[in-house]
Copies of this chain bind each other. A is one copy, B any other.
Amino acid sequence: MRTTHLWTRTLQHSRTRLFSSTCHRGEVLSIHDLPNRVHPSYAKRSDSKLLSLKWAEEPRNVMIVKKPGVEEIGDALVEFAEHITTTYPGTNIILEPSVAHNFHHRLSRPVYAIPPPSRSSPFPFTQSTDPRTPHQRPRKTSHEQPDTEDEPDHTSFLSEEIQTNPYHQKTDVLVTFGGDGTILHAASLFSTSRAVPPVLSFAMGTLGFLGEFKWAEYKTAYASLRHSCAFEHAEECNIRVLRRNRLQAGVYGVNGERIGGEWGEYEGIEDAHAMNELSLHRGRDPHLAILEIYIGPHLLTEAVADGIIVSTPTGSTAYSLSSGGSILHPSVPSLLLTPICPRSLSFRPLVLPEDAKITLRLSKRNRGREVEVSVDGRRWGGLGPGQEVRVWLETVGNESQEGGIPCVKRLNTPGAEDGWVGGLNGLLKFNYPFGEEE
């Protein structure tokens, strides 16, 4: 059992340092001290693919994830946190440990974070471990990319905690400040959760494709989400929820056994979930990879290529698009299979039905070489000859809280609700016209 006791003790250690000079205001408390989360319910509307959302109780625990390294975004976080804790008393702020570390002193109220591990050290936040799935890469190998993030946003916790990931247990609302990468990162923190909290995303600076609200709208956006509608009066409500499908994926060994490898050597191994895509790539090896692709039990084809992408419709505007894939509306229930630089003139991108089970196996003909497996632009591990990744679409409960990533959307004008057409034109420069005004 995880006790606050240890944590308190731990914090005392660190507080010695933390509070010595700068920390006159907020303090960092353990996320375990928060009340458990409340789940909203979603309802299908007759007029649209978007859902309306209703809270049984008011949401209190708001997790904020921010893009690192941009000063204005830090300021925005502070302003936002002050606003909601003041305007809606009883609201608690959850931050990633490193962010808590850097910002708690600028906030007038305490913030909550995952505490350092029980075998704590006096320098808790330097023990970087990844709370995402796949969990626990305990040995930092020498191959590893230098971490370019200025704020290490990970902390370690024990493997039994995976089952009871505190973010999953506590977060009512997930707020992001940053671009698409920040949303992908936030989603990755919930990659083993069946019930991701509603995601309210603010684009800071350049608008991203997945983001929705501008910073200037922050007050009304949060207010709308908080008060969102009783189903009877949904018409008056100006937000909606787009439940974005996720991919689910597991890695299997030459004999079909579930394996860990760099994915973790533990019992409680779980599937990865992707918001955009899972990709296999030859990586740094200058030679073509040979991949066998199965749909259900049937060999679709053997791809000789730089790699292969299995994408959600959400991810159709990400890597898959760069590789020549079509653009899909996020509500088309399907999976995309897009080759990366295939050595064939006739390998076209495919769009598969939502119930397709895809297996990507590295052919034994690759003679000892590995391919890189990435999830949403993060390296997951290396896959050896004969090993395989199995990918399918996470099932989404119809009106239950389970499945997908519930993204909060603005409801501007009737019909325009999902803003997708606008995004194509404004962001992707879709069908951008030729010519130049003199």
Contact = CB atoms under 8 A, between A and B. Distances in A.
A303 B346 CA distance: 15
Interface stretch (A16-24, A203-211, A253-261, A267-275): A203-211
A436 B206 contact: yes
Contact of A351 (B285, B332, B367, B378): B332
Interface stretch (A89-97, A193-201, A231-239, A369-377): A369-377
Contact of A321 (B302, B345, B422): B345
Interface string A313-326: 10010010111111
Interface stretch (A161-169, A293-301, A399-407): A293-301
Contact of A319 (B341, B354, B436): B341
B351 A351 contact: yes
Nearest to A214: B438
Contacts of A415: 296-298
A344 B432 contact: yes
A430 B322 contact: no
B436 A426 contact: yes
* Copies of this chain in the oligomer: 4
Contacts of A379: 284, 286
Contacts of A313: 351
B368 A148 contact: yes
Q: Which among A287, A305, A343, A345 has the greatest number of chain B C-beta atoms within 10 A?
A: A345
A410 B391 CA distance: 27
Nearest to A207: B436
A425 B301 contact: yes
A332 B334 contact: yes
Interface in A128-146: 142-143, 145-146
B353 A341 contact: no
B348 A322 contact: no
A397 interface: no
Nearest to A322: B341
Given A430-B301, A432-B429, A206 B355 contact: no
B331 A353 contact: yes
A430 B347 contact: yes
A280 to B, nearest CB: 12
Q: Which among A316, A350, A352, A422 has the greatest number of chain B C-beta atoms within 10 A?
A: A350
A73 interface: no
Contacts of A348: 321, 326-327, 345, 430
Contact of A355 (B49, B326, B346, B377): B49
B329 A351 contact: yes
A367 B349 CA distance: 32
Contact of A344 (B302, B305, B334, B434): B434
A203 B325 CA distance: 32
Given A327-B351, A351-B328, A438 B284 contact: no
A335 to B, nearest CB: 9
Given A143-B143, A345-B429, 18 more contacts: A145-B284, A207-B436, A284-B284, A297-B416, A299-B421, A301-B431, A306-B340, A322-B341, A322-B342, A322-B343, A326-B348, A332-B352, A340-B341, A345-B432, A348-B430, A351-B351, A429-B434, A432-B432
Which 6 pairs from chain A and chain B are nearest by CB? A345-B346, A283-B284, A347-B431, A322-B341, A326-B326, A346-B346
17 contacts: A145-B369, A148-B367, A205-B438, A286-B372, A286-B374, A287-B377, A299-B421, A322-B342, A325-B326, A327-B351, A329-B334, A340-B341, A344-B431, A345-B346, A345-B347, A345-B348, A346-B430
